[in-house]
Structure 1
Amino acid sequence: MNAAKIPDDVEFIKIAEVRRITGLGTSTIYERMLAKEFPGQVKLGPKAVAWIKSEVQAWVKERISASRPG
Protein backbone atom coordinates (compact mmCIF):
# COMPACT_ATOMS: atom_id res chain seq x y z
CA MET A 1 0.00 0.00 0.00
CA ASN A 2 1.26 3.43 -0.88
CA ALA A 3 1.98 5.54 2.23
CA ALA A 4 0.27 8.51 0.58
CA LYS A 5 -3.03 6.56 0.58
CA ILE A 6 -2.95 5.59 4.27
CA PRO A 7 -5.32 7.74 6.34
CA ASP A 8 -3.89 9.69 9.26
CA ASP A 9 -6.35 8.19 11.72
CA VAL A 10 -5.33 4.52 11.39
CA GLU A 11 -5.90 2.62 14.62
CA PHE A 12 -4.09 -0.63 15.39
CA ILE A 13 -5.79 -3.30 17.48
CA LYS A 14 -4.39 -6.44 19.03
CA ILE A 15 -5.75 -9.98 18.73
CA ALA A 16 -7.96 -9.72 21.85
CA GLU A 17 -9.81 -6.78 20.31
CA VAL A 18 -10.07 -8.56 16.95
CA ARG A 19 -11.62 -11.55 18.75
CA ARG A 20 -14.04 -9.27 20.61
CA ILE A 21 -15.16 -7.42 17.47
CA THR A 22 -15.57 -10.53 15.29
CA GLY A 23 -16.59 -13.19 17.79
CA LEU A 24 -14.01 -15.49 16.20
CA GLY A 25 -11.32 -17.44 18.01
CA THR A 26 -7.62 -16.90 17.45
CA SER A 27 -7.16 -20.09 15.42
CA THR A 28 -10.08 -19.22 13.16
CA ILE A 29 -8.74 -15.72 12.57
CA TYR A 30 -5.35 -17.07 11.50
CA GLU A 31 -6.93 -19.81 9.36
CA ARG A 32 -9.05 -17.24 7.53
CA MET A 33 -6.03 -14.97 7.10
CA LEU A 34 -4.11 -17.82 5.45
CA ALA A 35 -7.08 -18.45 3.16
CA LYS A 36 -7.16 -14.71 2.31
CA GLU A 37 -10.67 -14.51 3.84
CA PHE A 38 -9.75 -12.08 6.63
CA PRO A 39 -7.66 -8.90 6.81
CA GLY A 40 -3.95 -9.45 7.28
CA GLN A 41 -1.95 -8.26 10.22
CA VAL A 42 0.67 -5.52 10.29
CA LYS A 43 4.06 -6.30 11.76
CA LEU A 44 4.90 -3.68 14.38
CA GLY A 45 8.15 -5.16 15.58
CA PRO A 46 10.07 -8.44 15.91
CA LYS A 47 7.41 -9.98 18.17
CA ALA A 48 4.45 -7.65 17.77
CA VAL A 49 1.60 -7.61 15.26
CA ALA A 50 -1.71 -5.79 15.06
CA TRP A 51 -4.67 -5.36 12.75
CA ILE A 52 -6.06 -2.18 11.28
CA LYS A 53 -9.36 -1.59 13.07
CA SER A 54 -11.19 -0.17 10.05
CA GLU A 55 -10.28 -3.26 7.98
CA VAL A 56 -11.63 -5.60 10.65
CA GLN A 57 -14.79 -3.52 10.96
CA ALA A 58 -15.24 -3.56 7.16
CA TRP A 59 -14.90 -7.37 7.23
CA VAL A 60 -17.65 -7.56 9.87
CA LYS A 61 -19.93 -5.31 7.79
CA GLU A 62 -19.34 -7.53 4.73
CA ARG A 63 -20.35 -10.61 6.74
CA ILE A 64 -23.54 -8.87 7.88
CA SER A 65 -24.40 -7.80 4.32
CA ALA A 66 -23.69 -11.25 2.93
CA SER A 67 -25.91 -12.94 5.51
CA ARG A 68 -28.99 -10.80 4.94
CA PRO A 69 -31.32 -11.39 1.99
CA GLY A 70 -32.14 -8.63 -0.44
Structure 2
Amino acid sequence: MREKLLRLPKVIDATGYSKSRIYALIKEGAFPAPLKLGDRAVGWRESEIEAWIASRQPSMKNASLSATAESRTAQ
Protein backbone atom coordinates (compact mmCIF):
# COMPACT_ATOMS: atom_id res chain seq x y z
CA MET A 1 0.00 0.00 0.00
CA ARG A 2 1.32 3.43 -0.89
CA GLU A 3 1.94 6.11 1.69
CA LYS A 4 -0.33 9.10 1.19
CA LEU A 5 1.46 12.44 0.85
CA LEU A 6 -0.19 15.58 2.14
CA ARG A 7 0.34 18.96 0.56
CA LEU A 8 0.64 22.09 2.69
CA PRO A 9 -3.06 23.07 2.78
CA LYS A 10 -3.95 19.63 4.20
CA VAL A 11 -1.13 19.88 6.78
CA ILE A 12 -2.40 23.32 7.81
CA ASP A 13 -5.94 21.92 8.17
CA ALA A 14 -4.73 18.91 10.17
CA THR A 15 -2.55 20.87 12.59
CA GLY A 16 -4.31 24.21 12.82
CA TYR A 17 -0.95 25.94 12.37
CA SER A 18 -0.11 28.58 9.78
CA LYS A 19 2.43 28.02 7.02
CA SER A 20 5.00 30.19 8.79
CA ARG A 21 4.54 28.33 12.10
CA ILE A 22 4.93 24.94 10.39
CA TYR A 23 8.17 26.01 8.72
CA ALA A 24 9.46 27.53 11.98
CA LEU A 25 8.82 24.22 13.75
CA ILE A 26 10.61 22.36 10.94
CA LYS A 27 13.61 24.66 11.36
CA GLU A 28 13.59 23.95 15.13
CA GLY A 29 13.46 20.22 14.43
CA ALA A 30 10.08 19.98 16.15
CA PHE A 31 7.96 19.04 13.11
CA PRO A 32 8.42 16.45 10.35
CA ALA A 33 10.35 17.74 7.36
CA PRO A 34 8.62 17.61 3.98
CA LEU A 35 9.71 15.48 1.06
CA LYS A 36 10.73 17.30 -2.09
CA LEU A 37 8.37 16.31 -4.90
CA GLY A 38 9.66 18.63 -7.58
CA ASP A 39 11.28 22.00 -8.14
CA ARG A 40 8.51 23.86 -6.32
CA ALA A 41 6.50 21.14 -4.62
CA VAL A 42 6.77 19.39 -1.26
CA GLY A 43 4.61 16.94 0.62
CA TRP A 44 4.47 15.33 4.05
CA ARG A 45 3.93 11.66 4.82
CA GLU A 46 0.45 11.36 6.29
CA SER A 47 1.67 8.85 8.88
CA GLU A 48 4.32 11.29 10.14
CA ILE A 49 1.78 14.10 10.52
CA GLU A 50 -0.66 11.79 12.32
CA ALA A 51 2.11 10.58 14.65
CA TRP A 52 3.18 14.17 15.36
CA ILE A 53 -0.41 15.14 16.21
CA ALA A 54 -0.82 12.06 18.43
CA SER A 55 2.41 12.91 20.27
CA ARG A 56 1.07 16.38 21.03
CA GLN A 57 -2.27 15.26 22.45
CA PRO A 58 -1.08 14.02 25.88
CA SER A 59 0.55 17.38 26.64
CA MET A 60 -2.54 19.21 25.41
CA LYS A 61 -4.73 17.09 27.70
CA ASN A 62 -2.42 17.78 30.67
CA ALA A 63 -2.53 21.52 29.99
CA SER A 64 -6.32 21.39 29.78
CA LEU A 65 -6.57 19.42 33.03
CA SER A 66 -4.22 21.87 34.78
CA ALA A 67 -6.31 24.84 33.65
CA THR A 68 -9.47 23.15 34.85
CA ALA A 69 -7.94 22.36 38.23
CA GLU A 70 -6.65 25.91 38.60
CA SER A 71 -10.06 27.40 37.82
CA ARG A 72 -11.68 25.13 40.43
CA THR A 73 -9.08 26.13 43.03
CA ALA A 74 -9.65 29.82 42.34
CA GLN A 75 -13.39 29.49 43.09
TM-score, length of structure 2 as denominator length: 0.77
Q: Which runs of 4+ in 1 moved over 2 A?
A: 66-69
Rounded Cα–Cα distance in structure 2 between residues aligned with 1:66 and 1:10: 27
1:13-24 matches, cutoff 5 A? 13-24=6-17
Rounded Cα–Cα distance in structure 2 between residues aligned with 1:44 and 1:14: 10
Rounded Cα–Cα distance in structure 2 between residues aligned with 1:67 and 1:14: 25
Structure 2 residue 49 is matched with structure 1 residue 29: no
Unaligned runs of 5+ in 1: 1-7
Per the alignment, residue 46 of structure 1 pairs with 39
Equivalent position to 1:64, from 27, 34, 57: 57
Rounded Cα–Cα distance in structure 2 between residues aligned with 1:65 and 1:57: 14
Instruction: Give the 3-state SS of the residue equivalent to 2:2 in structure 1.
Output: coil
> Could you tell me the percent identity over the aligned residues?
31
Rounded Cα–Cα distance in structure 2 between residues aligned with 1:60 and 1:53: 11
Give the number of the structure whose residues are more often helix, by fraction.
Answer: 2
Q: Which has the larger radius of gyration?
A: 2
Give the number of the structure whose residues are more often strand, by fraction.
Answer: 1
> Which amino acid is 1:22 matched to?
T
Unaligned runs of 5+ in 2: 63-75
